[in-house]
Amino acid sequence: MDILQARADAPEELPAAIEALDAYRGLPLNARSEDELEKLERTIADLEKAASAHIYVLPLIVVFLLLGGVFFTIRYGFINLRLFSHGIAVLRGRYDDPKDHGEISHFQALTSALSATVGLGNISGVAIAISGGGPGAVFWMWVVAFFGMSSKFSSCTLAQVYRRISRESREHGAAADDAHALPGKSEHVLGGPMVYLQDGMKDVFGTSRGRVIGGTLAIVFAMFAIFGSLGGGNLFQCNQTFAIVSDLVFHQDVAPGAALAEGAGQNGVGGATEALTEAEAAERKADLKSQFAWVGGLVMAILVGIVIVGGIKRIGEVTAKMVPLMCLFYVGVCLVIVFANFKYVPGLISSIFTSAFSSEAVTWGGMMGILVVGVTRGAFSNEAGLGSAAIAHSAARTQEPVREGVVAMTGPFIDTIVVCTMTALAILITGAHLDRSAGGFTNEGVGITASAFASLAPILTIFLAVAVMVFAYSTMISWSYYGERASEFLFGRHGIWPYRILFLTFVFLAPMVSLDNVINFTDLLILSLAYPNILGMIILSPKVARLARDYVRRLKSGEIRPYESKGVPSTGVHGDGV
């Protein structure tokens, strides 16, 4: 951008203009023109006026998600605070009973759901939020996560109430739905919003009207889930993973200034050497990426296929080991950066709160602009209210629906308040969001985070790339399960294998396609899951409120006790081998 040609109606150009002004003022007097300096100062003044007057509008879907979270938090009496410690106790396996119906443990259900949300949004999404909304955007991400915990509690409780359990395993023919199926490895669970929307509306409106209302909401949700899983849960993850890995692999050979044999072919053999220009380096890197894209797609398809053919049990086993390790690794690196610069932490925490409500933060469009960016990125990060996580939590072994809802509501806390906060502190401490030429990555959001990691040690950008690959991989295997269950709901069990083949085909093709238009569309589909889901949950909220009150009453009275206190050894996290 030519700063002197910046438009007064483009306040997003203000940060670059201020940087240009500072750089221009630093030039020797004989190397700068007072007229040019005066023009630049006038441009910044115009941009500041435009930024202060700029109208930011929250997308309707984000308003719907946020207000839904507020409604459920109040409706259930701030259950996200009252039962949070109980949720941790359940996660530790203290209430796990192997005789309960279901396919996976509480812990495996949570890690399966977290593997779909703890991903590129935690690495690049936070960077985008801070660069677009400043430190205050982090505060609004926290707000979304706090209220989102109640949304997730509601959806996962309902998923347990209305889930359908079959006797035979998924791989051996269709079976009639049977809520009284014997516990065991042969159980197959179908649950999630498409099920509780269809069956729950019959309870509220009666069989005839409920079939029409619930059937419509359920079919819309299932269609959104399938297309969203193929796009944001597949194409985007695999495409960005290949872009990041190939950037690292080809960085040294095709960096600007690298030697290239004059007149050489693609192998660079023969002739005198000359340095690559920036344009030549970019073109050569693009050529190498296109040549090896199919290899990246094939490798990712094989790795994903190995897991998803085993269904939720295999996914639960893998994510139960992968998610804790990748979160600990990523948070650990961020903590090293934070402690290495700990003297700046109190001031940064203060700036997160003060700038969130600052009407003078013209760089980011004032309080409204910061709120828009923070709320939007928070909604993308933890997916609370979308209902996707309820599909995984419906498979958990329990006879208490509220108990699984309590486990599920810890997800937004881990995803946003823990992991995203660590990313935010690492970025703010290093000032990486102020340097747009960051990290050597093509992706701007990931590049900002890479710059923060590189400030501690350049080799950490390689570890960040590994984290990105693992995050994206875990997201793909979980979203494949979401799409698979939606396909089963629409087409029966005969729709499972065609969907798996289609999903793996998309994984293979992802590195070879341009995603700009596709991702905008599929992101919209994923967020649109909230419309049928939140509407249905509001209608069914009296049922959830009754169940929650009864559960809390029994918990306080001692009627609900940890499994090991009943005279039986605990079979929790350690007993499951997780």
Per-residue pLDDT of 33-44, as tens digits, reads 666 656 656 655
- Kindly state whether residues 170 and 31 are assigned to the same domain: no
- Kindly state whether residues 100 and 187 are assigned to the same domain: yes
Residue keyed to tokens 């209220």: 147
Question: Is the pLDDT confidence value at 463 over 90?
Answer: no
Residue 364 has a pLDDT of: 44
- Kindly state whether residues 92 and 47 are assigned to the same domain: no
Task: Give the burial string for 394-430 (b: 16+ CB within 10 Å, else e).
Answer: bbbbbebbbbbbbbbbbbbbbbbbbbbbbbbbbbbbb
- Give residue 26's pLDDT band: very low, low, confident or very high (50, 70, 90): low
Strand, coil or helix: 84: helix
Residue 152 lies in a domain: yes
Helices (H), 365-515: 366-382, 388-393, 401-408, 410-412, 421-430, 444-454, 460-491, 496-509
Contact indicator for 126, 427 with CB cutoff of 8 Å:
yes
Proportion of the chain in helix, strand, coil states, percent, rounded to 5 = 75, 5, 25
Residue type, 216: T
Question: Is the pLDDT confidence value at 499 over 90?
Answer: yes
**55-64, 76-85, 207-216, 425-434: the lowest-pLDDT one:** 55-64
- Kindly state whether residues 165 and 30 are assigned to the same domain: no
Q: Round to whole Å and give the CA distance between 520 and 51.
A: 26
Residue 293 has a pLDDT of: 83
Tokens of 493: 């069990």
**175-179, 454-458, 463-467: the lowest-pLDDT one:** 175-179
Question: Is the pLDDT confidence value at 479 over 80?
Answer: yes
- Kindly state whether residues 70 and 47 are assigned to the same domain: no
Which comes out higher in pLDDT, residue 217 or 371?
Answer: 217
What stretch of H or E contains 328? helix 311-340
- Kindly state whether residues 406 and 500 are assigned to the same domain: yes
Residue 383 lies in a domain: yes
Question: pLDDT over 90 for what percent of the chain?
Answer: 23
Residue 563 lies in a domain: no
Residue 211 lies in a domain: yes
Torsion of Cα atoms, 512 then 482 then 403 then 185, to 10° = -110
Residue 279 has a pLDDT of: 59
Residue 570 lies in a domain: no
Contact indicator for 384, 412 with CB cutoff of 8 Å:
yes
Any bridge partners for residue 166, and if so which? 177, 188
**10-24, 202-216, 291-305: the lowest-pLDDT one:** 10-24
Residue 140 has a pLDDT of: 85
Closest CA to 245 of 456, 506, 443: 443
Tens digits of residue pLDDT in 381-411 = 777 888 988 998 998 888 999 999 999 999 8
Closest CA to 108 of 387, 319, 311: 319
Any bridge partners for residue 218, and if so which? none
- Kindly state whether residues 101 and 138 are assigned to the same domain: yes
Q: Round to whole Å and give the CA distance between 364 and 48.
A: 10
Which comes out higher in pLDDT, residue 247 or 48?
Answer: 247
- Kindly state whether residues 62 and 29 are assigned to the same domain: no
Residue 313 has a pLDDT of: 73
Class of residue 349 by CB neighbours under 10 A (exposed 0-12, middle 13-18, buried 19+): middle
- Looking at the structure of the chain, the number of domains it has is 2
Contact indicator for 80, 403 with CB cutoff of 8 Å:
no
Residue 142 lies in a domain: yes
Mean pLDDT: which of 15-19, 57-61, 224-228 is highest? 224-228
Question: pLDDT over 70 for what percent of the chain?
Answer: 67
Enclosing domain of residue 47: 3-52
Contact indicator for 54, 370 with CB cutoff of 8 Å:
no
Question: Is the pLDDT confidence value at 48 over 60?
Answer: no
Question: Is the pLDDT confidence value at 226 over 70?
Answer: yes
CATH code of the domain covering residue 203: 1.20.1740
Contact indicator for 91, 407 with CB cutoff of 8 Å:
yes
What is the DSSP code string of 387-403? Answer: -HHHHHHTTB--S-HHH
- Kindly state whether residues 15 and 78 are assigned to the same domain: no
Q: What is the mean pLDDT of residues 435-439?
A: 51
Residue 348 has a pLDDT of: 85
What does DSSP assign to residue 30? G
- Give residue 172's pLDDT band: very low, low, confident or very high (50, 70, 90): very low
Q: Round to whole Å and give the CA distance between 369 and 54.
A: 8
Contact indicator for 411, 382 with CB cutoff of 8 Å:
yes
Tokens of 214: 């619930």
Question: Is the pLDDT confidence value at 9 over 90?
Answer: no
Q: What is the reported pTM? A: 0.78
Contact indicator for 377, 128 with CB cutoff of 8 Å:
yes
Question: Is the pLDDT confidence value at 438 over 60?
Answer: no
Which comes out higher in pLDDT, residue 272 or 296?
Answer: 296
Mean pLDDT: which of 321-335, 437-451, 464-478, 489-503 is highest? 489-503
Question: Is the pLDDT confidence value at 417 over 80?
Answer: yes
Residue 272 lies in a domain: no
Contacts of 516 (CB under 8 A, 6+ apart): none
Question: Is the pLDDT confidence value at 21 over 70?
Answer: no
Residue 103 has a pLDDT of: 80
Which comes out higher in pLDDT, residue 537 or 309?
Answer: 537
Question: Is the pLDDT confidence value at 128 over 70?
Answer: yes
Residue 445 has a pLDDT of: 63
Contacts of 141 (CB under 8 A, 6+ apart): 126, 129, 374, 375, 377, 378, 381, 416, 420, 424
Count the Cβ atoms, other than its own, within 10 Å of residue 251: 15
Tens digits of residue pLDDT in 183-213 = 445 678 889 999 999 999 999 999 899 999 9
Residue 440 lies in a domain: yes
Residue 570 has a pLDDT of: 40
Question: Is the pLDDT confidence value at 352 over 80?
Answer: yes
Residue ending a domain, among 541, 556, 572, is: 541
- Kindly state whether residues 137 and 8 are assigned to the same domain: no
- Kindly state whether residues 36 and 148 are assigned to the same domain: no
Q: What is the mean pLDDT of residues 441-458?
A: 69
Q: What is the mean pLDDT of residues 478-506?
A: 92
Which comes out higher in pLDDT, residue 48 or 215?
Answer: 215
Residue type, 393: H
Q: Round to whole Å and give the CA distance between 117 and 540.
A: 25
Strand, coil or helix: 540: helix
What stretch of H or E contains 157? helix 136-162
Tens digits of residue pLDDT in 358-369 = 654 444 445 555
Which comes out higher in pLDDT, residue 223 or 168?
Answer: 223
- Kindly state whether residues 43 and 65 are assigned to the same domain: no
Residue 205 has a pLDDT of: 92
Question: Is the pLDDT confidence value at 265 over 80?
Answer: no
